[in-house]
A and B are shown apart, each in its own frame.
Chain A
Amino acid sequence: MRQRRWLIVLMSPLALWLGLLFLAPLATMVVFTFRAGSFGPEHDVFTLENYRTFFGNPTYSRLLLSSAWISFVASVLSILLAYPVAYYLAFQAGAHRLTLLLVIIVPAWISFLLRVFAWKLILGSGGLLNIVLMAAGLVDEPAPILLYSRSAVIVALVYSYMPFVALPIFVALQRIDRSLIEAASDLGGTGWQTFRDVILPLSMPGVAAAFFLIFIPTLGEYVTPLLLGGTEGLMFGNVIQSQFARALNWPLGSLMSLAVLLFTLALLAVFVRLVRLEDWVQA
């Protein structure tokens, strides 16, 4: 019983925090999706009009899907780029591990906005990339398509989120019992077979964690697409932001936020089913 009392004492700050700052706002948001307006008398009118607007206009769901696609491509690219780095850190780096880990993490300490803005300078028509391309004689005049495109958004997202992808993969690789790798080679496995049949499958929990660590926040991104996306690279987050800040249509904005949340949860459920995470977890 004493233990139970202590549990309550220890858990209550967190429970309070989650309740006040997560659950209550979430409930408010859900309630808002049924309101007719943001303020005044309409605020107290309950209606399904927002749902009709949202589902009646295929632009919204199409934008949600295309945003999800951007996030998905950015996530997959980040993982493909981060995996070799994490692998090197876990198995080859030796004494340099800490230094290299810092090299990966330190850029993330610089203001996010600044880093996204830097891509504007690199990808812009008078930007670094164009200067290099022209100097190399690959293009004759500045290529305008680099900035304000879906690709620009993806490149910047990959760059911004890479450290957060590398870390969980590194931890998963680090946790693999070295005797399993020895066993694989003892049983006749070549380096590649050992990687394919032992290391890669055992690092999948880290890869899955990395995927969601980048997929979920990038799906809600609006700064990167705002600065680099133009009209082609617009993401769902930008529409939500404009519903709240410009159109002052909080009910529709709330419904869109709810849509993102449910979409992500559904995806997570499918993913967990497919990968069956519990299979990878060692007893």
Chain B
Amino acid sequence: MGEFAVQLQRVTKVYGESRRPAQAAGIQSAAVNAIDLSVTPGEFFTLLGPSGCGKTTTLRLIAGFEQATAGDILIQGKRMNDVPPHLRPVNTVFQNYALFPHLTVAQNVGFGLKVKHVGAPERERRVAEALEMVRLSELAQRKPSQLSGGQQQRVALARAIVNRPAVLLLDEPLGALDLKLRKAMQLELKHLQAQLGMTFIYVTHDQEEALIMSDRIAVMNQGEVLQIDTPANIYERPATRFVADFIGESNFLQGAVDDIDEGRVVVKLPGTLRLSFAPNGHALHKGQDVTLAIRPEKLGLAHRNGSETPNSLTGVVRNIAYLGTDTRYTVELWPDAALVVRMQNVHGANRPAFAVGDPIRIEWAPDDIQLLQQ
């Protein structure tokens, strides 16, 4: 039973059902809808999604601040549905830090140990150790209002990890920090997590942050978990159009299955265009409508030279944006259909030059095309 740090089984949360029990079944209003997920011990697990997707509700369900309407919440194999927050082996780092303004930094960090009657000598030792870990030892006697945002964030972190929880829950802990500090803290958090070997469940709406820090990511939207996978697979092999669109930039093409043959599938696009690639496990049938996704940086541009290859499309450059490390080309394939192509600005002399209005050919490796669930 104990092989997972946290397990959610068909967990649903509907808000305000107590007032109108008759309408409790209205699934549309579910903040979280029958989600399943399993977090392994020591994992950095991220809940990623836009605001209102249910990621914070999911975290609050695990912490015990919200009660699940249906389903089971297991922490270290034990069912926790009816266990109040103060008896759960988890601690939370709150979005606004929620530091006690009337207590010093050291008292804030020692709060959890004090209420659990850990003796003063051990408490002091562990508080000092936790403050050392977040490099705040010299500020132990300050009040939270005397600290900067980044320092407050680290106090909140120390206050949680000092209790050695089985799982640390972090609700957008870096959201209030400026970009540079956020980048530094991302690495610091990741490092700290590895050092402690603690299970982290991290909520964020920042896809870059999720990719950098996580072992695995659960992408959520409208109360549902759309995909759970490693950052590389989430990016390279998105399961749905929402995932492909939310994480990074993506090109989408609508088409229909034309032919299936020896592990290759041929998709017919508008006009006479046909694309052939590996269907990566999707069960397909002839004539089915499909969406294809491909990342802009997986595409290459070449001047048209007459010879058409199977994995290429022709178009006209409509827009060029220079972005420093790379250049972003918008290529019109046919009316109302454009692809975005990003090409790295490698060594200047080798860089092919394209201009707006140039007829060009777009090329790619067939396996970079991702077929999406409808």
Contact = CB atoms under 8 A, between A and B. Distances in A.
Interface stretch (A33-41, A181-189, A242-250): A181-189
A202 interface: yes
A190 B86 contact: yes
B71 interface: no
Contact of A193 (B96, B115, B159, B163): B115
Given A202-B102, A283-B101, A183 B94 contact: yes
A182 B94 contact: yes
A207 B115 CA distance: 24
B163 A187 contact: yes
Contacts of B163: 187-188
B85 A182 contact: yes
B115 A186 contact: no
Nearest to B101: A282
B100 interface: yes
Contact of A187 (B102, B143, B145, B159): B159
Interface in A235-283: 279-280, 282-283
A189 B143 CA distance: 21
B111 interface: yes
B86 A186 contact: yes
Nearest to B110: A187
Contacts of A283: 101, 144-146
A28 interface: no
* Interface-central residue, A184, A188, A197, A279, by most chain B CB under 10 Å: A188
Nearest to B146: A283
A179 B101 CA distance: 12
Contacts, number: 72
Interface in A180-208: 180, 182-190, 193, 197-198, 201-202
Contact of A186 (B92, B100, B101, B143): B92
Contacts of A188: 86-87, 112, 115-116, 163
B234 interface: no
Contact of A179 (B84, B94, B144, B160): B94
A266 to B, nearest CB: 27
B63 A189 contact: no
A177 interface: yes
B98 interface: yes
Contacts of A202: 100-102
B115 A189 contact: yes
B91 interface: yes
A173 B117 CA distance: 27
9 contacts: A182-B85, A183-B99, A185-B84, A185-B85, A186-B85, A186-B90, A187-B112, A188-B86, A188-B115
Interface of A: 177, 179-180, 182-190, 193, 197-198, 201-202, 279-280, 282-283
Interface of B: 63-65, 84-87, 90-92, 94, 96, 98-102, 111-112, 114-116, 143-146, 159-160, 163
